[in-house]
Amino acid sequence: MKKIGFIDYFLDGWHANNYPIWIKEAKRDYEVSIAWEEISKEGLRNGKDWCKDFNVELAGSIEQLINESDCLIVLAPGNPETHERLADLALQSGKPLYIDKTFAPDLAAAERMFIKADVHGTPLMTSSALRFVPDLQAADLKEKADTAFSLGGGSSFQEYSIHQLEMIVMLMGTEAKRVMQTGTEFSQQLIIDYGNDRRASLSLSPNQGFEIHGHYKNKDSLSIADPGDFWPGFITALLDFFDTGISSVPKEETLEIIKLVEAGICALDTTDEWFELNDFSD
C-alpha cells in the first residue's frame, strides 16, 4: 500500500474525516497512514484522538510525515491563508502533493507555490471537487461558452465561491477581464465580464444547491441542475494524480480561479463597481 500523509491546520474537519473513508472505498493501493496538525481546535478532537480513531500514526513533525509518506495532502480547506506555510516543505519534497481548496488566498501566493513546486520537481494538484460533477466531466468543453451562470450554497463567498468559479472557468476559459459584485449581505451575485459580449455570473446563498448552465454561439447549451455525486470522481482523479504525477487540472485554470476569488472578495465591499482583473496580476 502506498502511504498518504495528511498535513492539516487542525485535523478534525469534514474533509479529513471523509477522505480516508473514500480513499479506502476506492479500493486502490493507497491508505492514509500518517497525519500532522498545527493546532488542536477547541471543541474538536485533538490530533492524537483523531489519529487513534482513524488508525493513523500521529507525526511529530512535517519532516517526519514527508519522509514516511509516498504522497501528500495539505488540507485546511477553510484556512487557505495557512496553505503556503503548511505546504512549504511538501512543495520541496518531489513527492506528489495535493493542496485542498481553496488553493491560496490570493494570486501572488498561488504563483509562488507553483513556482516552488516547479523548482523542486514536485507534482502539484489542486481543485474544487465540483470540477468532478459527472455530467460536467462527460461534457465536451473544447468550445468555450458565450455565457454561463451558476448557483451554489455556502456560508461565505470567501470560502465557497471556489466551487462555482471552478465550474465557470471550465466553461468560459481563462480570459476574464473584470468582475462586479451586485448582491446583498445575504446573497452574493458576482458578474464576470470576458469582453466580446461574453459574461458569466454566480449566485451564492447559504442553502442553495449547486447548478451550472452554459450557452454557446452555435445555440447549443449545457444545463446541469443536479450535480449528482461528484466525490467518487474527485477521489479517482486524486489517486490517478498520485499514480502518474500528472494533474488533470490545468495550472492556468487554477490561477484564473484564484484571481477571480481574490477579485470577488475585494469587490464585496464596493458593490456595483467593476474591478479590473489586471490589477490582480504581476
pLDDT digits (tens, 9 = 90+) for 170-205: 999 999 999 999 988 788 999 999 999 999 999 999
Q: What is the mean pLDDT of residues 215-238?
A: 94
Contact of 46 with 15, CB cutoff 8 Å: no
Question: 120-134, 162-176, 209-223, 228-242: which has the minimum mean pLDDT?
Answer: 209-223
Please report the pLDDT score of residue 17 as a whole number. 98
3 state SS of 81: helix
Q: Which residue has the cell 488508525?
A: 55
pLDDT at residue 183 in the model = 87
In this prediction, residues 246-251 reach a mean pLDDT of 97
In the chain, the DSSP E strands lie at 2-8, 30-37, 57-58, 71-74, 97-99, 124-125, 147-152, 178-181, 188-195, 198-204, 211-215, 221-224, 275-276
Predicted local confidence at residue 184, as pLDDT: 85
List the single range of 13-17, 25-29, 195-199, 219-223 with lowest mean pLDDT.
219-223
Q: Are 242 and 96 in contact (CB under 8 A)?
A: yes
* Residue 97 three-state SS: strand
Q: What percent of the chain has pLDDT over 70?
A: 99
Nearest to 30 by CA among 6, 13, 47: 6
Query: Rounded mean pLDDT of 24-48?
Result: 96
β-strands 275-276, 178-181: how paired? antiparallel
Phi, psi of 189 (to 5 degrees): -130, 115
pLDDT at 218: 79
Q: Which residue has the cell 499514480?
A: 243
Mean of per-residue pLDDT scores for the chain: 96
Contact call for residues 120 and 93 (beta carbons, < 8 A): yes
Range 112-132 average pLDDT: 98
Q: Coil, strand, or helix at residue 39? A: coil
**Tally of CA atoms within 13 A in the half-sphere of 86 that contains its CB:** 29
263 closest CA partner among 176, 196, 187: 176
This prediction has a pTM of 0.95
- Alpha-carbon distance of 35 to 47, in angstroms, equals 8
* pLDDT surpassing 70 at residue 281: no
- What is the sign of the dihedral through the CA atoms of 81, 85, 91 and 97? negative
pLDDT digits (tens, 9 = 90+) for 89-114: 999 999 999 999 999 999 999 999 99
Could you tell me the three cell numbers for 175?
Answer: 480570459
**With 90 as the cut, is the pLDDT of residue 86 above it?**
yes
Report the candidate in 154, 191, 155, 148 with the shortest Cα–Cα distance to residue 173.
148
Domains, in order of start, for the chain: 2-126 (3.40.50.720), 130-227+260-280 (3.30.360.10)
- In the structure, what pLDDT confidence band is assigned to residue 280 with cuts at 50, 70 and 90? confident
